[in-house]
Structure 1
Amino acid sequence: MKTFLAGGLALAAALIAPTAQAQAPAKPIIVLVHGAFADSSSWNGVIPILRRDGYFVIAMENPLRGVRSDAAEITSVVSRLKGRVVLVGHSYGGSVISAAATGAANVKALVYVSAFAPDAGETALGLSGKFPGSTLAGALTPPVPLPGGGKNLYIVQGKFPAQFAADVDPARAYLMSVGQRPIAAGALTEPSPQPGWKRIPSYFVYGDRDRNIPPAALGFMAARAHARQTVVVKGASHVVMVSHPGEVAQVIERAAATR
Protein backbone atom coordinates (compact mmCIF):
# COMPACT_ATOMS: atom_id res chain seq x y z
CA MET A 1 0.00 0.00 0.00
CA LYS A 2 1.25 3.48 -0.78
CA THR A 3 0.89 6.37 1.61
CA PHE A 4 0.38 9.78 0.02
CA LEU A 5 1.06 12.93 2.04
CA ALA A 6 -0.53 15.96 0.43
CA GLY A 7 1.91 18.53 1.73
CA GLY A 8 1.47 20.91 -1.20
CA LEU A 9 -1.62 22.68 -2.39
CA ALA A 10 -4.99 21.11 -1.67
CA LEU A 11 -5.65 21.36 -5.38
CA ALA A 12 -2.68 19.12 -6.07
CA ALA A 13 -4.11 16.56 -3.66
CA ALA A 14 -7.46 16.76 -5.42
CA LEU A 15 -5.82 15.99 -8.73
CA ILE A 16 -3.38 13.31 -7.58
CA ALA A 17 -4.97 11.39 -4.72
CA PRO A 18 -8.04 9.93 -6.44
CA THR A 19 -6.03 8.74 -9.44
CA ALA A 20 -3.27 7.23 -7.30
CA GLN A 21 -5.41 4.19 -6.51
CA ALA A 22 -5.33 1.26 -8.88
CA GLN A 23 -8.45 -0.11 -7.22
CA ALA A 24 -10.51 0.27 -4.08
CA PRO A 25 -8.50 -1.03 -1.10
CA ALA A 26 -9.88 -3.79 1.11
CA LYS A 27 -9.69 -1.54 4.16
CA PRO A 28 -11.19 1.94 4.47
CA ILE A 29 -9.06 4.87 3.30
CA ILE A 30 -7.90 7.15 6.11
CA VAL A 31 -7.98 10.88 5.33
CA LEU A 32 -6.23 13.05 7.91
CA VAL A 33 -7.06 16.76 8.21
CA HIS A 34 -4.88 19.00 10.39
CA GLY A 35 -6.10 22.02 12.32
CA ALA A 36 -5.04 25.60 12.95
CA PHE A 37 -1.40 26.44 13.74
CA ALA A 38 -0.32 23.03 12.42
CA ASP A 39 0.28 21.25 9.12
CA SER A 40 0.18 17.72 7.72
CA SER A 41 3.45 16.81 9.45
CA SER A 42 1.54 16.73 12.74
CA TRP A 43 0.33 13.27 11.65
CA ASN A 44 3.83 11.89 11.07
CA GLY A 45 3.70 9.66 14.14
CA VAL A 46 0.29 8.22 13.28
CA ILE A 47 0.86 7.56 9.57
CA PRO A 48 3.51 4.79 9.89
CA ILE A 49 1.27 2.87 12.29
CA LEU A 50 -1.70 3.02 9.94
CA ARG A 51 0.47 2.13 6.97
CA ARG A 52 1.99 -0.83 8.82
CA ASP A 53 -1.52 -2.07 9.49
CA GLY A 54 -2.45 -1.95 5.81
CA TYR A 55 -4.30 1.35 5.43
CA PHE A 56 -4.13 3.69 2.46
CA VAL A 57 -3.55 7.13 4.02
CA ILE A 58 -3.87 10.68 2.73
CA ALA A 59 -2.82 13.64 4.88
CA MET A 60 -4.61 16.61 3.37
CA GLU A 61 -3.50 20.22 3.53
CA ASN A 62 -6.23 22.22 5.22
CA PRO A 63 -6.39 25.77 3.78
CA LEU A 64 -7.56 27.21 7.14
CA ARG A 65 -9.59 29.93 5.39
CA GLY A 66 -13.18 29.11 6.32
CA VAL A 67 -15.30 26.13 7.33
CA ARG A 68 -17.34 25.83 4.14
CA SER A 69 -14.53 26.55 1.69
CA ASP A 70 -12.09 24.27 3.51
CA ALA A 71 -14.71 21.50 3.63
CA ALA A 72 -15.25 21.87 -0.11
CA GLU A 73 -11.53 21.18 -0.66
CA ILE A 74 -11.75 18.00 1.38
CA THR A 75 -15.00 16.86 -0.25
CA SER A 76 -13.50 17.38 -3.71
CA VAL A 77 -10.96 14.66 -2.94
CA VAL A 78 -12.99 12.35 -0.71
CA SER A 79 -15.97 12.11 -3.06
CA ARG A 80 -13.68 10.83 -5.82
CA LEU A 81 -11.81 8.23 -3.81
CA LYS A 82 -12.42 4.57 -4.61
CA GLY A 83 -13.68 2.98 -1.44
CA ARG A 84 -14.98 3.76 2.03
CA VAL A 85 -13.37 6.63 3.91
CA VAL A 86 -12.67 7.49 7.54
CA LEU A 87 -12.28 11.25 7.99
CA VAL A 88 -10.00 12.31 10.84
CA GLY A 89 -9.80 15.93 11.97
CA HIS A 90 -7.64 17.70 14.53
CA SER A 91 -8.81 20.84 16.32
CA TYR A 92 -10.43 23.21 13.77
CA GLY A 93 -10.12 20.30 11.33
CA GLY A 94 -13.03 18.73 13.21
CA SER A 95 -15.29 21.54 12.03
CA VAL A 96 -14.05 20.93 8.50
CA ILE A 97 -14.61 17.15 8.45
CA SER A 98 -18.06 17.62 10.02
CA ALA A 99 -19.05 19.77 7.04
CA ALA A 100 -17.16 17.74 4.43
CA ALA A 101 -18.81 14.47 5.47
CA THR A 102 -22.23 15.86 4.62
CA GLY A 103 -21.20 16.13 0.97
CA ALA A 104 -19.38 12.81 0.63
CA ALA A 105 -21.52 9.66 0.60
CA ASN A 106 -18.56 7.28 1.01
CA VAL A 107 -17.56 8.52 4.50
CA LYS A 108 -18.23 5.71 6.98
CA ALA A 109 -16.82 7.18 10.20
CA LEU A 110 -15.52 10.43 11.69
CA VAL A 111 -12.66 10.70 14.18
CA TYR A 112 -12.23 13.86 16.24
CA VAL A 113 -8.70 14.31 17.62
CA SER A 114 -8.80 17.14 20.17
CA ALA A 115 -11.30 18.54 17.70
CA PHE A 116 -14.43 20.61 17.35
CA ALA A 117 -17.65 18.80 16.46
CA PRO A 118 -20.01 21.75 15.96
CA ASP A 119 -23.73 21.60 15.41
CA ALA A 120 -25.33 23.72 12.70
CA GLY A 121 -24.85 27.41 13.42
CA GLU A 122 -22.12 26.93 16.03
CA THR A 123 -18.61 28.36 15.73
CA ALA A 124 -15.22 27.13 16.88
CA LEU A 125 -14.75 30.28 18.95
CA GLY A 126 -18.11 29.84 20.62
CA LEU A 127 -17.48 26.20 21.48
CA SER A 128 -14.02 26.87 22.90
CA GLY A 129 -15.55 29.47 25.22
CA LYS A 130 -18.51 27.32 26.25
CA PHE A 131 -16.50 25.98 29.19
CA PRO A 132 -13.63 27.59 31.12
CA GLY A 133 -10.05 26.51 30.54
CA SER A 134 -8.84 27.77 27.17
CA THR A 135 -5.78 30.05 27.36
CA LEU A 136 -5.37 30.42 23.60
CA ALA A 137 -6.51 34.05 23.39
CA GLY A 138 -3.62 35.18 25.57
CA ALA A 139 -1.08 33.28 23.47
CA LEU A 140 -1.96 34.80 20.10
CA THR A 141 -0.02 37.50 18.27
CA PRO A 142 -1.90 40.64 17.23
CA PRO A 143 -3.98 39.74 14.14
CA VAL A 144 -2.06 40.13 10.88
CA PRO A 145 -4.03 42.03 8.20
CA LEU A 146 -4.28 40.35 4.78
CA PRO A 147 -3.98 42.27 1.49
CA GLY A 148 -7.44 41.20 0.30
CA GLY A 149 -9.12 41.79 3.65
CA GLY A 150 -9.45 39.66 6.74
CA LYS A 151 -6.77 38.79 9.27
CA ASN A 152 -4.48 35.85 10.06
CA LEU A 153 -3.92 34.49 13.56
CA TYR A 154 -0.67 32.99 14.87
CA ILE A 155 0.49 31.74 18.26
CA VAL A 156 3.47 33.64 19.72
CA GLN A 157 6.46 31.37 19.13
CA GLY A 158 7.69 31.70 22.70
CA LYS A 159 4.27 30.68 24.05
CA PHE A 160 3.64 27.92 21.53
CA PRO A 161 5.17 24.94 23.39
CA ALA A 162 3.28 25.50 26.65
CA GLN A 163 0.05 26.46 24.90
CA PHE A 164 -0.07 23.95 22.08
CA ALA A 165 2.36 21.13 22.72
CA ALA A 166 3.27 21.00 26.41
CA ASP A 167 3.94 17.24 26.39
CA VAL A 168 6.03 17.25 23.18
CA ASP A 169 9.83 17.22 23.15
CA PRO A 170 10.89 20.91 23.42
CA ALA A 171 13.06 20.76 20.30
CA ARG A 172 10.18 19.44 18.24
CA ALA A 173 7.71 21.88 19.79
CA TYR A 174 10.04 24.72 18.78
CA LEU A 175 10.10 23.49 15.17
CA MET A 176 6.31 23.26 15.24
CA SER A 177 6.10 26.86 16.46
CA VAL A 178 8.30 28.10 13.62
CA GLY A 179 6.42 26.12 10.97
CA GLN A 180 2.90 26.85 12.24
CA ARG A 181 0.31 27.74 9.60
CA PRO A 182 -1.99 30.64 10.42
CA ILE A 183 -5.75 30.45 10.41
CA ALA A 184 -8.01 33.19 9.09
CA ALA A 185 -9.72 34.83 12.04
CA GLY A 186 -13.05 34.56 10.21
CA ALA A 187 -12.78 30.77 10.08
CA LEU A 188 -13.16 30.59 13.85
CA THR A 189 -16.33 32.68 13.81
CA GLU A 190 -17.98 31.17 10.73
CA PRO A 191 -21.20 29.31 11.60
CA SER A 192 -21.00 25.64 10.75
CA PRO A 193 -23.41 23.95 8.32
CA GLN A 194 -25.29 20.75 9.09
CA PRO A 195 -22.72 18.29 10.52
CA GLY A 196 -22.00 14.79 9.31
CA TRP A 197 -21.78 13.41 12.86
CA LYS A 198 -25.58 13.41 13.08
CA ARG A 199 -25.74 10.46 10.67
CA ILE A 200 -22.20 9.03 10.66
CA PRO A 201 -20.59 7.14 13.59
CA SER A 202 -18.08 9.29 15.45
CA TYR A 203 -15.07 8.65 17.65
CA PHE A 204 -13.20 11.05 19.94
CA VAL A 205 -9.72 11.15 21.43
CA TYR A 206 -8.22 14.06 23.33
CA GLY A 207 -5.94 14.95 26.23
CA ASP A 208 -7.01 16.11 29.67
CA ARG A 209 -4.38 18.89 29.57
CA ASP A 210 -5.60 20.57 26.40
CA ARG A 211 -5.15 24.36 26.70
CA ASN A 212 -6.71 25.28 23.35
CA ILE A 213 -10.08 23.53 23.62
CA PRO A 214 -11.16 22.83 27.21
CA PRO A 215 -11.48 19.09 27.90
CA ALA A 216 -14.97 19.79 29.25
CA ALA A 217 -15.96 21.17 25.84
CA LEU A 218 -14.49 18.16 24.08
CA GLY A 219 -16.36 15.82 26.39
CA PHE A 220 -19.58 17.74 25.81
CA MET A 221 -19.23 17.43 22.04
CA ALA A 222 -18.41 13.72 22.25
CA ALA A 223 -21.47 13.02 24.40
CA ARG A 224 -23.72 15.11 22.16
CA ALA A 225 -22.53 13.21 19.09
CA HIS A 226 -23.19 9.89 20.86
CA ALA A 227 -19.60 8.88 20.14
CA ARG A 228 -19.02 5.16 19.69
CA GLN A 229 -15.76 5.57 21.61
CA THR A 230 -14.22 8.40 23.63
CA VAL A 231 -10.60 8.11 24.78
CA VAL A 232 -9.15 10.69 27.15
CA VAL A 233 -5.34 10.53 27.31
CA LYS A 234 -4.04 11.61 30.71
CA GLY A 235 -1.48 14.39 30.60
CA ALA A 236 -1.83 14.93 26.86
CA SER A 237 -1.78 18.38 25.28
CA HIS A 238 -3.74 19.72 22.32
CA VAL A 239 -1.53 17.77 19.89
CA VAL A 240 -2.29 14.34 21.30
CA MET A 241 -1.53 12.77 17.89
CA VAL A 242 2.05 14.04 18.16
CA SER A 243 2.69 13.00 21.75
CA HIS A 244 0.56 9.82 21.76
CA PRO A 245 0.38 8.56 18.16
CA GLY A 246 -0.27 4.97 19.19
CA GLU A 247 -3.42 5.80 21.14
CA VAL A 248 -4.71 7.99 18.33
CA ALA A 249 -4.01 5.35 15.70
CA GLN A 250 -5.92 2.79 17.77
CA VAL A 251 -9.01 4.99 17.80
CA ILE A 252 -8.75 5.58 14.04
CA GLU A 253 -8.47 1.84 13.40
CA ARG A 254 -11.43 1.20 15.68
CA ALA A 255 -13.42 3.67 13.59
CA ALA A 256 -12.26 1.95 10.40
CA ALA A 257 -13.69 -1.31 11.72
CA THR A 258 -17.15 0.24 12.18
CA ARG A 259 -19.94 -1.83 10.62
Structure 2
Amino acid sequence: MSSNGKPTIVVVHGAFAESGGWDRIVARLQDEGHRVIAAANPLRSVAYDATYIRALLDSIEGPVVLVGHSYGGMVISKAAAGAENVKKLVYVAGFAPEAGDSGATLAAKFPGSTLGQTLRPVKLPDGGEDVYVDQELYHAQFAADVPGEVTRVMAANQRPITSAALEEAAEGSQAWQSIPSWFLIPEADNNIPAAAHRFMAERAKAVTTVSIPNASHAVFVSHPTEVGDLILEAAAAA
Protein backbone atom coordinates (compact mmCIF):
# COMPACT_ATOMS: atom_id res chain seq x y z
CA MET A 1 0.00 0.00 0.00
CA SER A 2 1.22 3.50 -0.75
CA SER A 3 2.08 5.67 2.23
CA ASN A 4 -0.98 7.82 1.39
CA GLY A 5 -3.32 4.84 1.72
CA LYS A 6 -3.89 4.36 -1.99
CA PRO A 7 -3.91 0.79 -3.31
CA THR A 8 -0.83 -0.76 -4.85
CA ILE A 9 -1.28 -1.37 -8.57
CA VAL A 10 0.29 -4.49 -10.07
CA VAL A 11 0.45 -4.68 -13.87
CA VAL A 12 1.12 -7.99 -15.61
CA HIS A 13 2.23 -8.15 -19.24
CA GLY A 14 1.26 -10.90 -21.65
CA ALA A 15 3.04 -12.82 -24.37
CA PHE A 16 5.25 -11.10 -26.95
CA ALA A 17 5.65 -8.06 -24.67
CA GLU A 18 7.62 -7.23 -21.54
CA SER A 19 7.15 -5.19 -18.39
CA GLY A 20 8.76 -2.08 -19.88
CA GLY A 21 5.78 -1.71 -22.19
CA TRP A 22 3.87 -0.28 -19.23
CA ASP A 23 6.40 2.54 -18.68
CA ARG A 24 4.19 5.53 -19.54
CA ILE A 25 1.26 4.14 -17.58
CA VAL A 26 3.45 3.30 -14.58
CA ALA A 27 4.81 6.86 -14.52
CA ARG A 28 1.32 8.33 -14.53
CA LEU A 29 0.06 6.00 -11.79
CA GLN A 30 3.09 6.91 -9.68
CA ASP A 31 2.40 10.60 -10.26
CA GLU A 32 -1.11 9.94 -8.91
CA GLY A 33 0.40 8.60 -5.69
CA HIS A 34 0.20 4.86 -6.26
CA ARG A 35 2.89 2.33 -5.58
CA VAL A 36 3.21 0.35 -8.81
CA ILE A 37 4.83 -3.01 -9.58
CA ALA A 38 5.30 -4.07 -13.20
CA ALA A 39 5.58 -7.80 -12.71
CA ALA A 40 7.79 -10.00 -14.88
CA ASN A 41 5.41 -12.68 -16.12
CA PRO A 42 7.37 -15.93 -16.71
CA LEU A 43 5.14 -17.04 -19.65
CA ARG A 44 5.84 -20.73 -18.96
CA SER A 45 2.40 -22.10 -18.07
CA VAL A 46 -0.85 -20.69 -16.71
CA ALA A 47 -0.54 -22.67 -13.48
CA TYR A 48 3.12 -21.79 -12.89
CA ASP A 49 2.75 -18.16 -13.86
CA ALA A 50 -0.30 -17.72 -11.63
CA THR A 51 1.57 -19.23 -8.68
CA TYR A 52 4.48 -16.88 -9.34
CA ILE A 53 2.24 -13.80 -9.44
CA ARG A 54 0.28 -15.00 -6.40
CA ALA A 55 3.51 -15.08 -4.41
CA LEU A 56 4.07 -11.45 -5.35
CA LEU A 57 0.52 -10.52 -4.36
CA ASP A 58 0.89 -12.26 -1.00
CA SER A 59 3.96 -10.13 -0.27
CA ILE A 60 2.05 -6.85 -0.62
CA GLU A 61 0.47 -5.20 2.40
CA GLY A 62 -2.84 -3.46 1.85
CA PRO A 63 -5.28 -3.37 -1.07
CA VAL A 64 -4.18 -4.22 -4.60
CA VAL A 65 -5.58 -3.42 -8.04
CA LEU A 66 -4.40 -6.14 -10.42
CA VAL A 67 -4.09 -5.44 -14.14
CA GLY A 68 -3.47 -7.97 -16.92
CA HIS A 69 -2.80 -7.54 -20.63
CA SER A 70 -3.56 -10.34 -23.10
CA TYR A 71 -2.31 -13.69 -21.70
CA GLY A 72 -1.66 -11.76 -18.49
CA GLY A 73 -5.44 -11.91 -18.04
CA MET A 74 -5.24 -15.70 -17.87
CA VAL A 75 -2.64 -15.35 -15.16
CA ILE A 76 -4.33 -12.71 -13.00
CA SER A 77 -7.64 -14.55 -13.17
CA LYS A 78 -6.10 -17.52 -11.37
CA ALA A 79 -3.49 -15.69 -9.28
CA ALA A 80 -6.07 -13.47 -7.57
CA ALA A 81 -8.62 -16.20 -6.88
CA GLY A 82 -8.99 -16.22 -3.10
CA ALA A 83 -6.47 -13.38 -2.62
CA GLU A 84 -8.14 -11.19 -0.01
CA ASN A 85 -6.00 -8.12 -0.74
CA VAL A 86 -6.90 -7.95 -4.43
CA LYS A 87 -9.89 -5.62 -4.58
CA LYS A 88 -10.29 -4.87 -8.29
CA LEU A 89 -9.24 -6.42 -11.61
CA VAL A 90 -8.53 -4.62 -14.88
CA TYR A 91 -8.34 -6.50 -18.17
CA VAL A 92 -6.52 -4.57 -20.89
CA ALA A 93 -7.12 -6.54 -24.09
CA GLY A 94 -6.91 -9.43 -21.66
CA PHE A 95 -8.28 -12.94 -21.41
CA ALA A 96 -10.81 -13.55 -18.65
CA PRO A 97 -11.30 -17.34 -18.75
CA GLU A 98 -13.57 -19.65 -16.89
CA ALA A 99 -12.58 -23.21 -16.13
CA GLY A 100 -11.95 -25.07 -19.37
CA ASP A 101 -11.04 -22.00 -21.43
CA SER A 102 -7.55 -21.53 -22.82
CA GLY A 103 -6.07 -18.52 -24.52
CA ALA A 104 -6.20 -20.40 -27.79
CA THR A 105 -9.87 -21.37 -27.49
CA LEU A 106 -10.97 -17.89 -26.43
CA ALA A 107 -9.04 -16.24 -29.28
CA ALA A 108 -10.67 -18.67 -31.73
CA LYS A 109 -14.18 -18.31 -30.33
CA PHE A 110 -14.93 -15.54 -32.85
CA PRO A 111 -13.34 -14.98 -36.27
CA GLY A 112 -10.58 -12.47 -36.84
CA SER A 113 -7.39 -13.55 -35.07
CA THR A 114 -4.38 -13.78 -37.38
CA LEU A 115 -1.82 -14.48 -34.66
CA GLY A 116 -1.18 -18.13 -35.47
CA GLN A 117 0.26 -17.50 -38.91
CA THR A 118 2.77 -14.99 -37.53
CA LEU A 119 4.28 -17.23 -34.82
CA ARG A 120 7.76 -18.69 -35.14
CA PRO A 121 8.77 -21.68 -32.97
CA VAL A 122 11.98 -22.30 -31.04
CA LYS A 123 12.53 -25.85 -29.76
CA LEU A 124 13.55 -26.04 -26.10
CA PRO A 125 15.96 -28.49 -24.44
CA ASP A 126 13.14 -30.04 -22.40
CA GLY A 127 11.21 -30.94 -25.55
CA GLY A 128 8.85 -28.00 -25.30
CA GLU A 129 8.53 -25.07 -27.63
CA ASP A 130 8.68 -21.30 -27.31
CA VAL A 131 6.94 -19.11 -29.84
CA TYR A 132 7.72 -15.55 -30.91
CA VAL A 133 5.93 -13.22 -33.30
CA ASP A 134 7.99 -12.89 -36.48
CA GLN A 135 9.77 -9.54 -36.13
CA GLU A 136 8.94 -8.60 -39.72
CA LEU A 137 5.23 -9.12 -39.00
CA TYR A 138 5.15 -7.74 -35.47
CA HIS A 139 4.03 -4.20 -36.34
CA ALA A 140 1.00 -5.24 -38.41
CA GLN A 141 0.02 -8.10 -36.12
CA PHE A 142 0.60 -6.75 -32.65
CA ALA A 143 0.92 -2.97 -32.70
CA ALA A 144 -0.33 -1.45 -35.95
CA ASP A 145 -1.20 1.88 -34.29
CA VAL A 146 2.24 2.27 -32.68
CA PRO A 147 5.00 4.10 -34.60
CA GLY A 148 7.28 1.78 -36.56
CA GLU A 149 10.43 2.92 -34.81
CA VAL A 150 8.83 1.88 -31.51
CA THR A 151 7.55 -1.48 -32.72
CA ARG A 152 10.97 -2.43 -34.09
CA VAL A 153 12.29 -2.23 -30.54
CA MET A 154 9.22 -3.96 -29.11
CA ALA A 155 9.67 -6.82 -31.58
CA ALA A 156 13.28 -7.25 -30.56
CA ASN A 157 12.43 -7.08 -26.84
CA GLN A 158 9.40 -9.38 -26.96
CA ARG A 159 9.25 -12.20 -24.43
CA PRO A 160 8.32 -15.62 -25.85
CA ILE A 161 5.63 -17.86 -24.45
CA THR A 162 5.48 -21.63 -24.52
CA SER A 163 3.05 -23.15 -26.99
CA ALA A 164 1.72 -25.24 -24.10
CA ALA A 165 0.77 -22.13 -22.11
CA LEU A 166 -1.39 -20.84 -24.96
CA GLU A 167 -3.21 -24.17 -25.07
CA GLU A 168 -3.48 -24.69 -21.29
CA ALA A 169 -7.03 -24.59 -19.95
CA ALA A 170 -7.92 -22.56 -16.89
CA GLU A 171 -8.80 -24.64 -13.85
CA GLY A 172 -10.98 -24.00 -10.84
CA SER A 173 -12.43 -20.70 -9.71
CA GLN A 174 -11.38 -17.51 -11.45
CA ALA A 175 -10.93 -14.17 -9.72
CA TRP A 176 -13.37 -12.24 -11.91
CA GLN A 177 -16.15 -14.48 -10.62
CA SER A 178 -15.92 -12.79 -7.22
CA ILE A 179 -13.86 -9.59 -7.71
CA PRO A 180 -15.24 -6.57 -9.63
CA SER A 181 -13.61 -6.11 -13.02
CA TRP A 182 -12.97 -3.40 -15.60
CA PHE A 183 -12.35 -4.14 -19.29
CA LEU A 184 -10.66 -2.24 -22.10
CA ILE A 185 -11.38 -3.46 -25.64
CA PRO A 186 -9.20 -2.49 -28.62
CA GLU A 187 -11.50 -2.75 -31.62
CA ALA A 188 -8.71 -3.50 -34.13
CA ASP A 189 -7.07 -6.27 -32.10
CA ASN A 190 -5.56 -8.85 -34.47
CA ASN A 191 -4.59 -11.25 -31.66
CA ILE A 192 -7.87 -11.50 -29.76
CA PRO A 193 -10.96 -10.43 -31.72
CA ALA A 194 -12.95 -7.58 -30.22
CA ALA A 195 -16.01 -9.84 -30.16
CA ALA A 196 -14.16 -12.18 -27.80
CA HIS A 197 -13.28 -9.28 -25.52
CA ARG A 198 -16.92 -8.19 -25.43
CA PHE A 199 -18.04 -11.74 -24.68
CA MET A 200 -15.65 -11.97 -21.73
CA ALA A 201 -16.57 -8.53 -20.39
CA GLU A 202 -20.27 -9.34 -20.54
CA ARG A 203 -19.74 -12.74 -18.93
CA ALA A 204 -17.80 -11.10 -16.10
CA LYS A 205 -20.48 -8.41 -15.67
CA ALA A 206 -17.77 -5.77 -15.92
CA VAL A 207 -18.26 -2.61 -13.88
CA THR A 208 -16.95 -0.53 -16.80
CA THR A 209 -16.11 -1.52 -20.35
CA VAL A 210 -14.19 0.94 -22.53
CA SER A 211 -13.93 0.37 -26.27
CA ILE A 212 -11.28 2.13 -28.36
CA PRO A 213 -11.87 2.24 -32.13
CA ASN A 214 -8.93 1.32 -34.37
CA ALA A 215 -6.75 0.37 -31.38
CA SER A 216 -4.36 -2.56 -31.72
CA HIS A 217 -3.55 -5.36 -29.30
CA ALA A 218 -0.73 -3.15 -27.97
CA VAL A 219 -3.31 -0.65 -26.71
CA PHE A 220 -1.37 -0.15 -23.47
CA VAL A 221 1.39 1.40 -25.59
CA SER A 222 -0.72 3.25 -28.16
CA HIS A 223 -3.38 4.58 -25.78
CA PRO A 224 -1.73 5.00 -22.37
CA THR A 225 -4.09 7.83 -21.39
CA GLU A 226 -7.26 5.77 -21.81
CA VAL A 227 -5.67 2.72 -20.19
CA GLY A 228 -4.43 4.83 -17.29
CA ASP A 229 -7.85 6.42 -16.86
CA LEU A 230 -9.50 3.01 -16.57
CA ILE A 231 -6.96 1.73 -14.05
CA LEU A 232 -7.35 4.88 -11.97
CA GLU A 233 -11.14 4.48 -12.06
CA ALA A 234 -10.79 0.96 -10.68
CA ALA A 235 -8.25 2.13 -8.09
CA ALA A 236 -10.58 4.89 -6.89
CA ALA A 237 -13.22 2.22 -6.22
CA ALA A 238 -10.80 -0.06 -4.36
Same fold (TM > 0.5): yes
Q: Which 4+ residue blocks in structure 1 deviate beyond 2 angstroms?
A: none
CA contact (8 A) 1:125 1:189 kept: yes
Residue 182 of structure 1 corresponds to which residue in structure 2?
160
Secondary structure of the corresponding residue to residue 206 of structure 1:
strand
1:211 counterpart residue number = 190
CA contact (8 A) 1:88 1:111 kept: yes
* Distance in 1 separating the partners of 2:193 and 2:78: 22
Instruction: Report whether the alignment pairs 1:64 with 2:32.
Output: no
CA–CA separation in structure 1 for the residues paired with 2:102 and 2:3: 35
Per the TM alignment, residue 145 of structure 1 is displaced from its structure 2 partner at its CA by 1.0
The TM-score normalised by the length of structure 2 is 0.97
Q: Does residue 119 in structure 1 map to residue 98 in structure 2?
A: yes
1:136 aligns with 2:101: no
Deviations 1:17-42 (A, max 9, x none): xxxx7x76501100000000000011
Aligned residue number for residue 130 of structure 2: 152
Question: What percentage of aligned pairs have identical amino acids?
Answer: 51
1:223 to 202, 213, 218: 202
Moved more, 23-32 or 209-218: 23-32
Please tell me the root mean square deviation across aligned C-alpha atoms, in Å.
1.1
Alignment of 1:200 with 2:179, yes or no, is: yes
Residue matched to 2:142 = 164
Q: Which amino acid aligns with 2:95?
A: F
- 1:46 lines up with 2:44 in the alignment: no
Offset, 1:206: 2.2
Per-residue Cα deviation, 1:175-231 (whole angstroms, up to 9, x for no partner): 001111100000011111221000000000121100000000000000000000000
Do the aligned partners of 1:208 and 1:236 also contact (CA within 8 Å) in 2? yes
Residue 235 of structure 1 corresponds to 214
C-alpha offsets along residues 108-128 of structure 1, whole Å, 9 cap, x if unaligned? Answer: 000000010000111000000
Partners of 1:151 and 1:103 in 2: how far apart? Answer: 31
Residue aligning to 2:62: 83
**1:96 counterpart = 2:75:** yes
Does 2:226 align with 1:253?
no
Structure 2 distance, partners of 1:189, 1:78, is: 25
Residues 4, 33 of structure 2: 8 Å contact kept: no
- What is the identity, as a one-letter code, of the residue corresponding to 2:184? V
Q: Distance in 1 between matches of 2:192 and 2:3?
A: 36
The alignment of Structure 1 onto Structure 2 pairs a total of residues equal to 237
Q: Which runs of 5+ in 2 are unaligned?
A: none
The alpha carbon displacement at 1:235 in A equals 1.2
Q: Which amino acid aligns with 2:154?
A: M
1:103 & 1:87 partners in 2: Cα distance? 13
Stretches of structure 1 that go unaligned for 5 or more consecutive residues are: 1-20
Distance (Å, rounded) in 2 between the aligned partners of 1:71 and 1:24: 27
Given that residues 139 and 152 in structure 2 are in contact (C-alpha distance below 8 angstroms), is that contact kept between their aligned partners in structure 1?
yes
- C-alpha distance after superposition, 1:75-94 (max 9, x if no partner): 10111201100110000000
Which range moves more in the overlay, 57-66 or 189-198? 189-198
